[in-house]
Amino acid sequence: MRARGIENSPFRWLLPIAVMAAVILAWEAVVRLNDLPAYILPAPSRVIETLIADHAVLLASMLVTLKTTALALLVAIVGGVALALVFASARIVEFSLFPIAVILQVTPIIAIAPLMLIYLSTDTAVLMCAFIVAFFPILSNTTLGLNSVDPNLRDLFALSGASRLQTLLQLRLPTALPYFLGGARIAGGLALIGAVVGEIAAGSAGQGSGLAFRIVESGYRLNIPRMFAALLLISLAGILIYAALSLVSWLLLRRWHESALQSNR
Amino acid sequence: MTAGSPVPPRGLAVTAVVDTPPAPLLRLEAVEKRFANAVTALKGLDMEVRQGEFLSLLGPSGCGKSTALRLIAGLSEPTAGRLVWNEKEREPHSIGFVFQEPTLMPWASVFGNVHLPLKLAGQSRRAAAPAIEEALEMVGLAGFRDAYPRELSGGMKMRVSIARALVTKPRLLLMDEPFAALDEITRFKLNNDLLEVWRRLNCTIVFVTHSVFESVFLSTRILVFRARPGQVSAALDIDPNQPRDEAFRTSPEYAGLCRDTSLALARAMEAGESLSPVPRAG
């Protein structure tokens, strides 16, 4: 009962907004009262000013980062799902290839990035960084989903004389969908991290034009307000990606999956 | 009562049946099923399923009755022995199977779930619609075609599951403890509706249960299974002309049949508990 009270009351929205506003106001107050210079800690108002003043550069950079992230995510989805399908149809492939996927996953991407920048063009290297981190959650979640078919439903399909393709399309893929979407949501956030890491590694070499590169560049110039502005946009990009993937997930699952249901208990 | 069938399961003839037994739909001959983990579920199982009967397989858990059902469905193969079908009855899609759980696809509507067997056979939604509507009407779910499984109660889900098994108009309906998870009121109602469906479709039903009362109420014949190894321990006939209604449920005949069946089950369980091979009850 109490839980439902919180769920439905306007406080569910008002409280987090109020807390956020309080933090920002406190930050503003600290900067103004102590008369802190912008190169030590810019006030939120100053960050917004910079954002507006430099919007042409920053938004163009945001677009670059978003494009890289989206493309990496797309390739990770296509590749991850395709490999999961291969894994699910031949366990021997799974046994053979899974360790490589795990190694790629557990090795910190920041450590791989410099090598990538040697072998690949800057853009490709950044894309590759984002792809590598986004790939694994899609692969492992989709594989798990494809192998989570209700055994009775599998029997029912066999009994009805379903072909392998029919079983895949009408049973295994729908079963895997919620798992895949969960993986995609994680992968979206990771792809952004991968892109940022790639850009920072490339940016320190004096190349690139994404948001992370703007941060590195502004850091060299001690343009702290712009660093904050770029950081704000990276957070915004992350929220955007998460929201978009959540929306897709909700649209696909709202009619049937537990995760998308409004509880009326 | 089983004179004439080559491998008669000997058992208690509870009610004298004057009619000659109908032709067998299939026979299981000396069937053995051993699983990969060396568990022997069935050994020396001889039984037959007769045309048009309502046959219950009754027994304690682990006696292999569900395994027997899966063998009949063709979902697994016996490790020894054989199944002999009356050939003209074995057409594709002539078997309907109802599992213990409703086993519905959560992503599909009631209509989509019932459509499944026909869809897999290549029938479009439009072509299959009349058969689907008819099956839903038979289980009393005519108004629920667009609902999703999560919106239904346990009893209604089971009705959808039965409609899905009926949509192909099977000659043989196999049911694996379909009502075990339902409350008694819902179960009684589904029992009545199932008998109605059986009469309307004129099909053969093999019904696995561990409820003596359910098996006596529904069946025209009961095979009592024993465990270790799983095989038929007793067979009981119940007059097929007996009306199965609420009056029957409270009649002395029903009570008597339940007592006889319970007795046969108790004997089967004793046999399953002793480790030495025990002669079959009869």
Q: A11 in contact with B at a CB cutoff of 8 Å?
A: no
Neighbour count for residue A247 (Cβ, 10 Å) = 10
| Domain positions in chain B | 1-91+171-277, 104-169
- Tokens, residue A222: 């001690």
CB contact under 8 A, A155 and B119: no
**More confident position, B274 or A94:** A94
Q: pTM for this structure?
A: 0.83
| Domain positions in chain A | 1-35, 41-260
Q: A148 in contact with B at a CB cutoff of 8 Å?
A: no
The whole-angstrom distance between B137's CA and the closest CA on chain A is 22
The mean-pLDDT minimum among A108-117, A161-170, B9-18 falls in B9-18
Per-residue pLDDT tens over the stretch A245-255: 999 999 999 88
Q: B74 in contact with A at a CB cutoff of 8 Å?
A: yes
Residue in A194, A192, A189 with CA at minimum distance from that of residue A113: A194
pLDDT in tens, chain B (282 residues): 444 444 444 444 444 444 566 678 889 999 999 988 888 889 889 999 998 999 999 998 888 899 999 999 989 999 999 998 887 655 655 889 999 999 999 999 999 999 999 999 999 999 999 999 999 998 999 999 999 999 999 999 999 999 999 999 898 999 999 998 888 888 898 999 999 999 988 899 999 998 999 999 999 999 999 888 888 989 999 988 888 888 898 999 999 999 999 999 998 888 777 654 444 443
The complex's ipTM works out to 0.83
Residue B218: its pLDDT value, please? 94
Fold (CATH) for A41-260: MetI-like fold (1.10.3720)
Q: B142 in contact with A at a CB cutoff of 8 Å?
A: no
Residues of B in contact with A170 (CB under 8 A): 116, 119-120
Residues of B in contact with A255 (CB under 8 A): 107, 148
Q: Is the pLDDT of residue A2 over 60?
A: no
Residues A133 and A190 sit within 8 Å (Cβ to Cβ)? yes
Counting other chains too, the contacts that A229-236 makes at CB distance below 8 Å and 24 or more residues apart are A229/A47, A229/A48, A229/A50, A229/A51, A229/A54, A229/A58, A230/A58, A230/A61, A232/A47, A232/A51, A233/A51, A233/A58, A233/A59, A233/A61, A233/A62, A234/A65, A234/A192, A234/A196, A236/A62
Fold (CATH) for B1-91+171-277: Rossmann fold (3.40.50)
